[in-house]
Chains A and B, each alone.
Chain A
Amino acid sequence: MTGWRILPMGEAAVLAECMLDDVAAANAQALALACALQLGFDILPAIRSVLVRFDPLLWTVDEVAAHIRRQIDQLVPTAQADGQTVVVPVRYGGEHGPDLDDAAQSLGLSADALVAQHTAQAWRVLMIGFAPGFPYIGPLPASLTLSRRATPRPTVPAGSVAIAAGFTGIYPARLPGGWHLIGRTDLTLFDPMRQPPTLLQAGDRVQFVAV
């Protein structure tokens, strides 16, 4: 049980954070822990952590923390099976990706080279967060890592494919957003009437394809 930080979050939640520097490895650990804990608790896996919420009349913070530690000790690091691989067709650049050229320039790449890197491999869905169905996909290599835009846009069109902070994501709906928009897809990322409601889930892989 090394490389984890277990923190009470109020009287009814505990956050377990994997402190490995390698985001992909930390994410695999977090998803494996979420799997191991899902019976009996309200579990929320994130990029490198698992939030466990519980009824403080049934459990104490110390009991839950001890339970999490036991599960971490039994984690098999390679047990994380990948979910499905989803192909996401993207129209890169132009009106669909207004930030493609600027982003490429900031990264010292041509727009074509950025697209080539973005489509070069299937990335992992690390977490669904920020908004219903919004996938954090990556981690992207340093060559594709940009900080967020200085000024977020008040609205970003649904389906926008974007990069920021070492991740790539897809806006499931018209939302405010600070990521760099490099393209757009027609896929529906979130539909509350569908079960499950999201196209992607943590652990899936995403292969972007330029169309």
Chain B
Amino acid sequence: MLRVVAPGVLCTVQDLGRSGYQRFGVPVGGAMDRVACAIANRLVGNLPTAACVEITGGGAVFEVVEPCVVAVTGADLGATLNGQPLPMWLSVYLTAGRRVAFEGRRSGARAYLALAGGVDAPLVLGSRSTYLPGGFGGLGGRGLQMDDVLRPVPGQAPRDLIRLAGCAWPVAVDYALLIRILPFHDPSDLRSADLTAHPWRVGASSNRIGLRLEGPPIQTSQSREVISFGVFPGVIQLPPDGQPILLMADAQPTGGYPVVAVVIQADLHRAAQALPGDELRFAWTTIAEATHAWRELQRLLALPVEEDDGTALAAASRG
């Protein structure tokens, strides 16, 4: 059990989201980086559907109220345990009174903290994910605040915590901001160079709904009004100003802007690790390569965890 000492830039409870509710206008939501979230859960022995804390940027501090096992994955936000570096991609046993802090961003944007037993929050439309614009899910539909308490789901907290500690993830996850895309609809309408010739800067108003990309405006002939149709995380829209929007987890399920490309599902977690000011690049790919990449990613997520007692115990005893 953890108490929030400081929420930093933004901490929210997230799981895999609300598939199946898009016909009610509800976004899929859930973890922006589903790969890191899934691995964090694996490391602490949780089901894939368990909720984690999504930590964006630096400044978050947690105090251990009752002994627990956690794992931190995703972005390197300078995680420390009582001031000493906290190893990432590893499950760690924490005794009461210790502090886990995220000092500041070194790489990436979002870290995931999994708690053995899963972070408890009411299920809303089948998910514990926080949807900030709608004010529901997670803890009260809002970001974490000072003195919020993160408990494991009742009945899910494992008895033998120490045995869970020391599980390490065997391979590094590739977070290069080189994002593979597939053309949509009418590639002749868009010169491929327009999207891939130069990097795109992530704009200041980017958030969990979408990344607003800044660069030389893209001209297309699609000026007609488009009747809204279904969209999803990974879809790249082109509003009239020619600055693309890459839809992310909290995107509305329908959109009326023309779509120019779609990020392959296997690269979406990379885009999730970009913050305003970062630059990302696109590269065209094929459906065959996209499917291969997805298969490889699923294979990676199914890898067995490694026992790494030495590091975990060392980390636990340092604090």
User: Could you list which residues of chain A lie within 8 angstroms of chain B, going by C-beta atoms?
Assistant: 7-13, 15, 17, 23, 42-51, 53, 56-57, 60-61, 127-134, 136, 165, 172-173, 190, 192-193, 196-198, 201-202
Contact = CB atoms under 8 A, between A and B. Distances in A.
Given A8-B287, A131-B25, A198-B25, A53 B125 contact: no
A4 B158 CA distance: 53
6 contacts: A9-B184, A11-B264, A44-B23, A56-B294, A57-B291, A192-B137
Contact of B232 (A8, A51, A201): A51
Contact of B185 (A7, A50, A130): A7
Given A11-B294, A57-B294, A17 B23 contact: no
Nearest to A49: B229
Interface stretch (B14-22, B101-109, B308-316): B14-22
Given A128-B24, A129-B254, A201-B23, A136 B228 contact: yes
Contacts of B262: 9-10, 13
Contacts of A196: 24
A13 B295 contact: no
B14 to A, nearest CB: 16
B290 A56 contact: yes
Contact of B229 (A8, A47, A131, A201): A47
B263 to A, nearest CB: 7
Given A10-B234, A42-B20, A47-B227, A129 B294 contact: no
B303 interface: no
Interface string B222-240: 0001011111101100000
Nearest to A173: B134
A46 B254 contact: yes
Contacts of A44: 22-23, 230, 253-254
Given A11-B182, A12-B294, A13-B262, A131 B20 contact: no
B265 A11 contact: yes
B240 to A, nearest CB: 12
A49 B264 CA distance: 22
Nearest to A55: B294
B293 to A, nearest CB: 9
A146 to B, nearest CB: 13
Given A9-B259, A129-B252, A173-B134, A197 B228 contact: no
B282 interface: no
A192 B294 contact: no
Q: Please give me the 4 A-B residue pairs with the lowest Cβ-Cβ distance, nearest first.
A: A51-B230, A129-B254, A10-B262, A11-B290
Given A8-B287, A11-B264, A56-B265, A45 B295 contact: no
Contacts of A198: 24-25
A54 B291 CA distance: 12
A165 B20 CA distance: 28
Interface string B294-312: 1100100000000000000
Interface string B182-203: 1011000000000000000000
B225 to A, nearest CB: 7
A107 B234 CA distance: 39
Contacts of A49: 227, 229-230
Given A44-B253, A47-B228, A173-B134, A10 B25 contact: no
